[in-house]
């Protein structure tokens, strides 16, 4: 359907190979972890025939959930990489072939310039920007960025329709705006967050023509966008904007505060980890001593559960000012890694040490089923 003669072709980009391989490897590791949770308990019980190993059955639903969730993610990633929308700016028309990810459908067609009523230029937030940027310059590109987007309003069969053409942080937008300008297509600008609106809401907002600023393209969108944004807000200052609509300055300020919050949370985590995990290792060695002294049994996960529940309480307590639910799976993963490493080194200290650390390692796996108890305890004390 495309003419061989065209001015510019704009395509959605595939994920860069490095990030694709990275995502695939992490997803594979996650699937292996999920499968371990599903079959690990029954296999261990069949081999060792110890009653406490039945506790691993509690992890089977979690393993199933992990596998299903990761399979959905991988399926969506593969679909995105195989179904890329493309747009062509030609001398007297625009041709397109777009894909709808939600409905898994495609649409293609041609828009003659004579049928285009006007074009609204705006900005949208592009996420994971580095994953779609050439590897050699990926380090210079922010993870999230404000990129341009065009909403082409045209008439087809007596009805108004809109073609959405999102761009990346490159110069392709300049070619399109120049081509539209040369064909005397009216250009408008809006700082409204049109991209994240529902399709019908976006259509009605654009068609009504409210909060849109006419402009003349001057050759460089990146230089002109900032002045357009300021002019748009100065003209719309008497209009109450929806809460979700932010200017570029507001977005950058939001990102700055977000980075500061992440640093504060990291420092709180570092203080908690530096206090709790050394105590966890010391507690493991103390458990070995108690086992060798025949004070506690070396067969079972109860000593490990007690040790990990105490560690979890301290972990949440030291981060009580920034307590949030994501700390529970984080503690689970971190404590499992530490217990796994410790069990590897404990083998050389004898059979009892090996049994004790194996029990603690088993407890670190099933602790996810009860880690919410110390979490809620700390949360209740914080509110008291």
Which residues touch 134 (CB under 8 Å, ≥6 apart)?
16
Taking only the tens place, the pLDDT of each residue in 83-127 is 889 999 988 899 999 988 777 888 899 999 999 999 999 988 876
How buried is 165 (Cβ within 10 angstroms: 0-12 exposed, 13-18 middle, 19+ buried)? buried
- Alpha-carbon distance of 204 to 375, in angstroms, equals 46
Taking only the tens place, the pLDDT of each residue in 291-350 is 888 887 777 778 888 899 999 999 998 988 888 888 899 999 999 989 888 888 776 777
Taking only the tens place, the pLDDT of each residue in 236-286 is 765 544 444 455 565 566 666 666 677 777 888 888 889 999 999 898 888
- pLDDT for 249 equals 61
Which residues touch 218 (CB under 8 Å, ≥6 apart)?
224
Query: Parallel, antiparallel, or unpaired for β 116-126 and 187-189?
Result: parallel
Helix, strand or coil, per DSSP, at residue 93: strand
Orientation of helix 302-317 relative to helix 351-366, angle to 10°: 50
Helix, strand or coil, per DSSP, at residue 323: coil
Is residue 136 scored above 60 in pLDDT?
no
Q: What sign results for the dihedral spanned by CA atoms 300, 302, 307, 312?
A: positive
Taking the CA atoms of residue 61, residue 65, residue 66 and residue 72 in that order, the dihedral angle to the nearest 10 degrees is 160
* DSSP per-residue letters across 172-234: HHHHHHHHHHHTT--EEE--S--TTS-HHHHHHHHHHTTT-EE----S-HHHHHHHHHHHHHH
| Residue 163: C-alpha distances to residues 116, 206, 215, 366 (Å) | 10, 12, 20, 51
Taking only the tens place, the pLDDT of each residue in 35-82 is 888 888 788 778 877 776 677 777 788 789 888 988 988 888 888 888
Taking only the tens place, the pLDDT of each residue in 147-173 is 899 999 999 888 899 999 998 877 889
- Alpha-carbon distance of 7 to 94, in angstroms, equals 10
Buried b (16+ CB within 10 A) or exposed e, 82-117: ebebebbbbeebbbbbbbeeeeeeeeeeebebeebe
Residues in the chain: 384
- pLDDT for 52 equals 67
When pLDDT is cut at 50, 70 and 90, the band that residue 210 belongs to is confident
Query: Parallel, antiparallel, or unpaired for β 105-112 and 159-166?
Result: unpaired
| Residue 103: C-alpha distances to residues 109, 161, 191, 197, 383 (Å) | 18, 19, 28, 17, 45
- Alpha-carbon distance of 252 to 100, in angstroms, equals 30
Query: Parallel, antiparallel, or unpaired for β 93-100 and 105-112?
Result: antiparallel
In 3D, which of 173, 62, 180, 58 has the Cα closest to residue 117? 180
């Amino acid at each position: 359907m495309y003419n061989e003669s065209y001015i510019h072709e704009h395509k959605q980009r595939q994920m860069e190979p490095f990030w694709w391989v990275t995502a695939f490897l992490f997803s594979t590791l996650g699937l292996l972890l999920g499968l371990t949770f599903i079959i690990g308990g029954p296999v261990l019980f069949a081999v060792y025939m110890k009653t406490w190993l039945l506790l691993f059955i509690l992890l089977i639903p979690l393993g199933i959930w992990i596998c299903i969730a990761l399979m959905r993610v991988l399926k969506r990633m593969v679909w995105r990489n195989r179904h890329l929308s493309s747009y062509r700016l030609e001398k007297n028309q625009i041709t397109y072939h777009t894909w709808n990810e939600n409905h898994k459908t495609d649409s293609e067609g041609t828009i003659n310039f004579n049928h285009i009523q006007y074009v609204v230029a705006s900005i949208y937030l592009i996420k994971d920007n580095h994953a779609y940027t050439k590897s050699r310059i990926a380090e210079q590109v922010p993870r999230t960025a404000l990129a341009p987007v065009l909403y082409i309003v045209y008439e087809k069969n007596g009805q108004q329709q809109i073609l959405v053409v999102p761009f990346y942080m490159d110069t392709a937008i300049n070619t399109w705006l120049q081509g539209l300008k040369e064909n005397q297509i009216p250009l408008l600008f809006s700082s409204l967050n049109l991209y994240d609106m529902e399709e019908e809401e976006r259509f009605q907002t654009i068609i009504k023509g409210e909060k849109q600023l006419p402009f003349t393209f001057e050759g460089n969108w990146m230089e002109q966008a900032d002045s357009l944004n300021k002019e748009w807000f100065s003209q719309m200052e008497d209009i109450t904007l929806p809460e979700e609509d932010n200017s570029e300055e507001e977005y950058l300020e939001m990102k700055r505060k977000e980075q500061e919050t992440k640093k504060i949370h990291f420092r709180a985590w570092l203080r908690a980890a530096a206090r709790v995990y050394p105590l966890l290792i010391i507690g493991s060695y103390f458990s070995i001593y108690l086992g060798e002294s025949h004070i506690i049994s070396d067969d079972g996960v109860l000593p490990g559960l007690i040790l990990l529940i105490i560690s979890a309480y301290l972990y949440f307590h030291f981060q009580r000012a920034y307590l949030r639910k994501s700390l529970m799976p984080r503690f689970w993963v971190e404590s499992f890694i530490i217990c796994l490493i410790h069990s590897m080194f404990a083998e050389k200290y004898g059979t009892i040490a090996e049994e004790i650390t194996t029990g603690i390692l088993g407890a670190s796996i099933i602790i996810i089923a009860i880690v919410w108890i110390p979490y809620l305890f700390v949360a209740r004390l914080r509110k008291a």
